[in-house]
Amino acid sequence: MARYLPPGWPFAVKLIVALLAAGLLPMALVTAWNLRRALEVAEQSEYRHLEAIAHSTASRMDQLIHDVQSTASFLADADEVVALLTAAPQTRAGMLPPVQRAIDNLVRSDSDIYSVLLMDARGVCIASTRPENVGVDLSFREYFRDALQGRPHISEVLSGSVSLRPGVFLASPVRDTFGAPIGVAVIKLKAETLAEMIDSVHASTGLHGMLLDRYGVVVISSAPELLYRSLRELPDEVIRSQVFVRRFNAEGVSRIQSLGWNELAEGALGAAAPGHLSFEAPDDGTRRFVGFAPVQARGWVLAVSEPDTVFKAPLRARVRGTLISTAILSAAIALLSVMLARGITRPIARLTAAAKQLRRGHYERAHVDEEGADELGALARAFNRMAAGLAERERERDIFGRVVSPEVREKLLSGTLGLGGETRYVAVLFSDIRGFSTMSEKMDPQDVVTMLNEYLAAMTAAVRPWHGYVNNFIGDAIVVVFGAPVAESEVEVRAARAALAMREALTSLNLRREAEGHPPLRTGIGIAAGNVVAGQIGSLERMLYTVIGDAVNVASRLESETKAFPEHPILLTDKVATALKDEEGLPMTHIGPRHVKGRDEPVELWALHSAADVEAPPESYD
């Protein structure tokens, strides 16, 4: 643990760290503070900007609604209107033309007004700029009931029951000479006018605006996906109320879905003054900055928002420039520090690094530049000669091991293996790829070699944990010996478990091949055991370590016999099966005697199964 602490660091590292800390740490702290301060200032400025836009737009709405409400009050006080509603119904026909001209002129002179209605005390429309409204009973409307009680009324954004167009209804009571309400004058303000105010904000600033009613429902928005959605879940009594249902059914909205913007609802709804806040939208995780202001005429809230990605966009250029400047200065300081440290410690550091490479076996990297005629230069030259000698020795050792196998190599180098052989009890495993000749005929030779290398590497890795000695590769066939050249116990068990490991490795290999569009490989495995002669066979000029005996021939024949039993890819002799009968996890099925090529007497065959196979027949070891 001490080597990870500063006292245990190399001198070069200590020097570099000290120089970098002295030069970079103060600069990094100042840069971070400046950037953070700039972000805070920009955030407050953007909050004020959003709040000002919201307040300005809300004030324009308030002014518009106030002007239209004043017009409605003026109309309700007009002598012609009072006279019309005071007259008996049968005498109103002659009094209607001047009133009709007046309300028609009112609509023509103000493009923000959609229609004007005059309603009698029963709530029946007796005059309107929209002929389809005349005679319609509108007594169910809240604005009529309030106005008939003597209170001017400004409605929510509603769709007309006849026109089905959204708008805001501004109603004023028409009073007789005694001050009693005798009817209602209504002006319908176009919802498009309010939407145009919000759209103009989006068009000029890129900000999204929305108008919220007193429940937090978005009734107008420059983002269509937010329209008729509430900031938070609405109480059931609100959703089920007839007034609420009637408001939105005309727009085809059967249910108000919640946005989950609870923070915005808590901060903005019911606000008496402009304000701002930020919150995280739960639908996409985006953080939004919002400025809001109340629309005093109705208790609505006008909100404008932008995601933090847009808000931070103006800072990106400044941050990028600062980071580039810091990076350039940091690189210069780091380069100077490294050059200074290397000039002091370079000879020792090179020798240390080369020694580490040599210890790891990277002989080609274990080289030191021979600079100078002093003691360090002499040490570097001696080190290079030593590394070259070790590299040559390791290269010869590696080549030798690839030719004769690591096990045989170690015996030859130790002088314990000479020309001739010795009798050993071994288990021999033969494995072969089914249909290899047909498969090779259709493949490019280079692809065949690639496939074989991948297959043989996987099989060799599978038998290695069981101390299997890969004696030979014969094309696509593999000969594995257990018990030679190094004597082992339970060679039959090792061979059987190695065979199952080869099957598992083949399954994994086939999954990769099928994923790459190649056909799977199928193999057969034969295992036999017995005494063989194992040793160096050949001449003094060329020798080969191999095993010779009946077990070798029988294993080869059993591998061929698996073609006759495609459901049993691993076949064993009776001697091997007897050795395995008390082993767990090695279920076997007795096949019976079978004549094999090259032997007069039949061979008792057993099939070895993996744990994934189905339950073996009754005559089996398990």
DSSP string, 141-200: SHHHHHHHTT--EEEEEEE-TTT--EEEEEEEEEE-TTS-EEEEEEEEEEHHHHHHHHHH
Q: How far apart are CA 620 and CA 448, in angstroms?
A: 39
pLDDT, tens digit, for every residue of 547-582?
Answer: 888 899 999 999 999 998 989 999 999 999 999 988
**The two domains 193-312 and 408-608 share their CATH topology (first three levels equal):** no
In this prediction, residue 621 has a pLDDT band, given cuts at 50, 70 and 90, of very low
pLDDT tens-digit map of 95-105: 899 999 999 99
Residue 370 has pLDDT above 70, yes or no: no
Q: How far apart are CA 345 and CA 219, in angstroms?
A: 73
Evaluate whether 499 touches 608 at the Cβ level (below 8 Å): yes
What's the pLDDT tens digit per position in 384-394? 666 665 555 66
408-608: CATH number: 3.30.70.1230
Identify the CATH homologous superfamily for domain 78-158+166-187. Answer: PAS domain (3.30.450.20)
Does 253 have pLDDT greater than 90?
no
Identify the pLDDT of residue 507.
Answer: 93
Q: How confident is the model at residue 28 (pLDDT cuts 50, 70, 90)?
A: confident
Q: Where are the beta strands (DSSP E) in 259-404?
A: 275-280, 287-295, 300-307
Report the residue count for the chain.
Answer: 622
| 218-248 tens-digit pLDDT | 888 888 888 888 888 888 877 777 667 666 6
Residue-level pLDDT at 186: 94
Q: Which CA distances in Å does 173 have to 88, 125, 157, 168, 360?
A: 18, 14, 20, 17, 98
State residue 358's pLDDT score: 64
Q: What is the DSSP letter of 232?
A: S
Residue-averaged pLDDT of the chain: 81
Check whether 308 has a pLDDT greater than 50. Answer: yes
Whole-angstrom Cα distance, residue 148 to residue 589? 99
Q: Is the peptide bond before 307 cis (omega within 30 degrees of 0)?
A: no
> For the segment 323-361, what is each residue's pLDDT rounded down to a tens digit?
777 778 777 776 766 666 665 566 666 666 667 766 666
- What is the mean predicted confidence (pLDDT) over 125-143? 90
Cβ atoms within 10 Å, residue 204: 9
With 70 as the cut, is the pLDDT of residue 376 above it? no
CATH of domain 193-312: 3.30.450.20
On the question of pLDDT at 397 being above 80, the answer is no
| % the chain with pLDDT above 70 | 75
Q: What is the mean pLDDT of residues 534-553?
A: 78
Residues 6 or more apart in contact with residue 35 via CB below 8 angstroms = 319, 322
Instruction: Say what the pLDDT of residue 596 is.
Output: 85
Give the mean pLDDT of 529-535: 90
Dihedrals phi, psi of 408, to nearest 5 degrees? -65, -40
* For the chain, domain boundaries: 78-158+166-187, 193-312, 408-608
pLDDT at 416: 53
Each residue's pLDDT tens digit, 156-168: 887 666 656 788 8
Q: In the predicted model, is pLDDT for residue 620 greater than 60?
A: no
H/E stretch holding 273: none
